[in-house]
Amino acid sequence: MSVVVYTENWEGKFKKASFEAVSYAARTAAQMGTEVIAVVIGGCSDDLSVLGSYGANHVLHYSNSSLDHFNPKSYASVLIDAVNSNSAHGVVLSGSFNGKAIGPLLAVGLKAALITNVSSLPESTAPLRVKRGAFSSKGYVVYESKQEKFVLSIVPNGIGVVEVSVSSNIELKGGFSAPSNSERVSVDMARGAIPLPEAEIVVSGGRGLKGPENWNMVEDLASVLGAGTACSKPVSDMHWRPHSEHVGQTGIAINPNLYIAIGISGAIQHLAGVSNSKTIVVINSDPEAPFFKAADYGIVGDAFDIVPKLTAALKEFKAQN
């Protein structure tokens, strides 16, 4: 028996959320009194033994030309093979876009209980009970598994990692032939951008910024903080910023350590996507903006005055720390 964890990599480099998934799997496996098998799929230039630092006892590296890039059906078939050939209890994966694509396929392939959007460690493991976010961050629901096997998809940057020291044995599985029923044509990555679900700090702008030409102010602040940039729904609807930056109920839900909202009033639909941020700073000229009620820190005033001053103060802080 064991817990399998999918460690996603992008162009051969592990995603940060993969380490979080391994750490989650290790803590879940410890509750169950069992071990962790980390599965790496496709070519990976990172040292696989790094997964031991998060608690992987075994690493299975499935790699051949049919697995060069992500495909939901073929990647799911690899994980199903890893579960079945090791009689594992279930699978842990990170709720990235790719994780969300394969979770349901695993659930059907394994006839498993799928619990997504998981935001904390299991409350119990027999039966498996775990809390997940629901109602677009307006509530939580504790789910119980009614099947023998489980698939848990965890919220990126939601639970964090615990570093341990486990020496893991690494096994290469080259011969696995993976079926597929769709084909990648091309990939277009946003240049230099930090993917929002992974960003620890996010700086976000709303209609209060008056136009796309003013976004350099947001980008300057983000660059000092090493932050991702985001926007409110009206801003994406008016095409000031791409839809991939829209955070909120019908955009991306994020939970960074720090969220700085500039010129966003804080409509309930926006809060639904950001209210799980650990610290929220709101900068708005309207003292009555509803966002202040959901914020930890607020500044009332003109963003065009405050944001450059904040960027300068942070530059000074970074220089000293």
Partner 1 sequence: MKILVCISHVPDTTSKIQFTADGKSLDSTGIQFVINPYDEFALTRALWFKEKLGGSVTVVNVGKANTEPTLRKALAIGADDAIRIDAEPTDGYAVAEELHSLISLEKYDLVLMGRESIDYNGTQVPGMVSALLDWPFINACVGMEVENGIATCIREIDGGKETVKASLPLVVAGQKGLVEEKDLRIPNMRGIMTARTKPLKVVPSVSTIVATQAVQYEKPAGKQACKMVSSDNVKALVDLLHNEAKAI
From 5, 37, 51, 107, residue interacting with partner 1 (rule: CB under 8 A)? 107
Counting contacts by CB under 8 A, is residue 91 touching partner 1? Answer: no
> Residues 137 to 156: which contact partner 1 by CB under 8 A?
137-147, 153
- Element holding 2 (H helix, E strand): strand 2-6
* CB 107, CB 113: distance < 8 Å: yes
> Residues 279 to 298: which contact partner 1 by CB under 8 A?
279, 281-282, 292-298
- Range in contact with partner 1 (rule: CB under 8 A) among 39-47, 105-113, 204-212, 214-222: 105-113
Residue 168 CB, nearest approach to partner 1 (Å) = 25
Counting contacts by CB under 8 A, is residue 103 touching partner 1? Answer: yes
Write out 63-124 in H/E/C secondary structure: CCHHHCCCCHHHHHHHHHHHHHHCCCCEEEEECCHHHHHHHHHHHHHHCCEEEEEECCCCCE
C-alpha neighbours within 13 Å on the C-beta side of residue 62: 24
Counting contacts by CB under 8 A, is residue 317 touching partner 1? Answer: yes
Residue 128 CB, nearest approach to partner 1 (Å) = 9
Counting contacts by CB under 8 A, is residue 44 touching partner 1? Answer: no
Counting contacts by CB under 8 A, is residue 58 touching partner 1? Answer: no
Residue 114 CB, nearest approach to partner 1 (Å) = 6
Nearer to partner 1, 167 or 321 (CB): 321
Residue 299 CB, nearest approach to partner 1 (Å) = 5
Residue 303 CB, nearest approach to partner 1 (Å) = 10
* CB 257, CB 279: distance < 8 Å: yes
Rounded Cα gap, residues 281 and 248, in angstroms:
16
- Torsion angle of C-alpha atoms 69, 73, 75, 80, degrees rounded to 10: -170
Task: Identify the three-state secondary structure at position 227.
Answer: coil
How many C-beta atoms surround the C-beta of residue 296 within 10 A? 12
Residue 155 CB, nearest approach to partner 1 (Å) = 10
* CB 128, CB 150: distance < 8 Å: yes
Residue 277 CB, nearest approach to partner 1 (Å) = 9
> Residues 215 to 274: which contact partner 1 by CB under 8 A?
225, 236-237, 243-244, 246, 249-251, 253, 257-258, 268-269, 272
- Range in contact with partner 1 (rule: CB under 8 A) among 18-26, 161-169, 188-196, 208-216: 188-196
- Element holding 62 (H helix, E strand): strand 58-62
Counting contacts by CB under 8 A, is residue 77 touching partner 1? Answer: no
**Judging by DSSP bridges, how do beta strands 201-205 and 90-94 pair with one another?**
unpaired
Supply 289's token pair: 């903006």
Nearer to partner 1, 57 or 117 (CB): 117
Nearer to partner 1, 168 or 252 (CB): 252
Counting contacts by CB under 8 A, is residue 305 touching partner 1? Answer: yes
Whole-angstrom CA distances from 119 to 152, 207, 278, 295 are: 10, 31, 13, 21
> Residues 116 to 135: which contact partner 1 by CB under 8 A?
116-117, 129, 131, 133-135
